[in-house]
């Protein structure tokens, strides 16, 4: 089905208007609840990454795990954090530090030949959080990959048929936020067995503002 972007823009505007002024930059959050989904089936528990058309005006922190040439290039690009093989080995015996790392970063990218070590050292911490690194080849264009991940959001459904995802900030243009929301909805509609029939409700809100329904049917 075709999603009416105008209806999304209207809902975003209303959410902003209903929100009180705050002393911090509020996020714009999207909440979607589902129906007629059997969450006992693994295929119905959505866990994925969606690249948005517009970056969110809040920092998305990316950690790169690499060695050799890729490690050098990643450091030269000024990426948030670059971990070496030696750094990984330290996490084997320091679970507390591993948990701290997991909280600090939104996404992880790891050189493919380091993935076995990543699995042993960080897997027990990153796995349950849905943050296992994406394997990348040593020749990867690391700058482009990191820029892409700065426009990426993680969608995750656990035990309840609902997802919450940040799609922008209050200071972003309404149209850009709406286009980000549309990208998330289009992704979900492709994943859902019955498409729109599996969606119960869609709401958009600022961090502390009241939810506003989006009616795209």
Which domains occur in the chain, in start order? 5-57+152-213 (3.30.190.20), 62-149 (3.40.50.790)
Whether pTM > 0.85 for this model: the answer is no
How far, in Å, CA of 56 to CA of 178, rounded? Answer: 12
The confidence band for 115, taking pLDDT boundaries of 50, 70 and 90, is very high
Question: What pLDDT score does 75 carry?
Answer: 92
b/e sequence 103-115, b meaning 16+ C-beta within 10 Å:
eebbbbbbbeebb
Q: Identify the pLDDT of residue 168.
A: 93
pLDDT at 24: 86
Determine the pLDDT at residue 162: 93
Residue 58: pLDDT band (50, 70, 90) is confident
Calculate mean pLDDT across residues 4-31: 92
């Amino acid at each position: 089905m075709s999603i009416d972007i105008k209806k999304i823009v209207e809902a975003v505007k209303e959410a902003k208007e209903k929100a009180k002024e705050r002393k911090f930059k509020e996020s714009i959050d999207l909440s979607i609840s589902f129906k007629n989904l059997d969450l006992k089936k693994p295929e119905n528990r959505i866990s994925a990454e969606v690249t948005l058309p517009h970056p969110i005006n809040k920092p998305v922190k990316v950690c790169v795990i690499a060695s050799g040439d890729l490690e050098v290039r990643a450091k030269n690009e000024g990426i948030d954090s670059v971990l070496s093989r030696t750094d990984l080995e330290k996490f084997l015996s320091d679970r507390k530090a591993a948990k701290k790392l997991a909280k600090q970063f939104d996404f992880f990218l790891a050189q493919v030949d380091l993935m076995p070590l990543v699995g042993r050292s960080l897997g027990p911490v990153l796995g349950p959080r849905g943050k296992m690194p994406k394997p990348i080849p040593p020749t990867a264009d690391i700058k482009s990959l990191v820029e892409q991940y700065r426009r990426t959001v993680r969608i995750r459904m656990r035990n309840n048929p609902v997802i919450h995802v940040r799609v922008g900030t209050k200071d972003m243009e309404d149209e850009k936020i709406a286009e980000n929301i549309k990208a998330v909805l289009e992704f979900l509609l492709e994943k859902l067995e019955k498409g729109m029939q599996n969606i119960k409700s869609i709401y958009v809100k600022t961090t502390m503002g009241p939810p506003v329904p989006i009616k795209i049917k």
